[in-house]
Amino acid sequence: MMSKLITLAIFDNAFDIRFNLLKGLLDEAGIPYVTTNENYRTVKSVPFMTAANVSIDIKVNETDLEEAMNLYRSIV
């Protein structure tokens, strides 16, 4: 059974160092994640942004949330 995806962190853009650090930490820990709006946010200019695409989310499985939160806390 697939667990629910939970938003772990929200970033303003894909160039935020914390965004890239968190992805690297999750990769190293073997925690699967999904990003939303990563490419769209860096391609579209400001006039095309809406509430649905102004942020980049990193989502993890509910079962991995505690471990992922510990990694996130280490960089904020």
5-73 is classed CATH 3.30.70.790: yes
Q: Tens digit of pLDDT for each residue in 34-62?
A: 998 766 544 455 555 554 556 889 999 99
One-letter amino acid identity for 42? T
Is the pLDDT score of 66 beyond 70?
yes
Question: Residues 8, 69: contact at Cβ < 8 Å?
Answer: yes
Task: Provide the pLDDT for residue 39.
Answer: 64
Task: Provide the pLDDT for residue 41.
Answer: 47
Q: Where are the beta strands (DSSP E) in the chain?
A: 5-11, 33-36, 56-61
Q: What is the pTM of this model?
A: 0.77
- Rounded distance, CA 75 to CA 36, Å? 20
Task: Provide the pLDDT for residue 16.
Answer: 87
DSSP string, 46-63: GGG--TTSSSEEEEEEGG
Radius of gyration of the chain (CA): 13
Question: Hunting for tokens 């989502």 — which residue is that?
Answer: 59
Is the pLDDT score of 7 beyond 60?
yes
Q: Tens digit of pLDDT for each residue in 12-37?
A: 877 889 999 999 999 999 999 999 87
